[in-house]
């Protein structure tokens, strides 16, 4: 059942990340296909959030898994940034 909450957290976190990164201007150089895909994903993410709320799932477990995912994405961003700096 833990993987279930991890999957729910993934959808919720991605749903929260998309508008944040869009507002920060991170998608300016992205392809049109990626932009359309992210826009089409938003209703799916909002449906997952609604599903969690309606079915009464434990938001604490979802939030804990979101923390793991956010920490992992931070490490990936730092690693990618260091690779770009090292290469030139």
Per residue in 12-53, pLDDT (tens digit) is 988 988 888 888 888 788 888 888 888 899 999 999 999 999
Give the pLDDT confidence of 51-76 residue by residue, as tens digits: 999 999 999 999 999 999 999 988 98
The residue extents of the domains of the chain are 2-87
Examine the pLDDT at 80 and tell me if it is beyond 80.
yes
- 16 class by beta-carbon count within 10 Å (0-12 exposed, 13-18 middle, 19+ buried): middle
Q: Is the pLDDT reported for residue 1 higher than 80?
A: no
């Amino acid at each position: 059942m833990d993987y279930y909450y991890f999957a729910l957290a993934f959808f919720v976190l991605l749903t929260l990340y998309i508008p944040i990164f869009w507002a920060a201007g991170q998608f300016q150089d992205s392809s049109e296909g990626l932009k359309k895909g992210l826009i089409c994903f938003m209703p799916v993410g909002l449906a997952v959030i609604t599903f969690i709320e309606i079915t009464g799932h434990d938001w604490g477990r979802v939030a804990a898994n979101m923390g793991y995912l956010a920490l992992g994405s931070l490490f990936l961003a730092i690693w990618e940034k260091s690779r770009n700096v090292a290469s030139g």
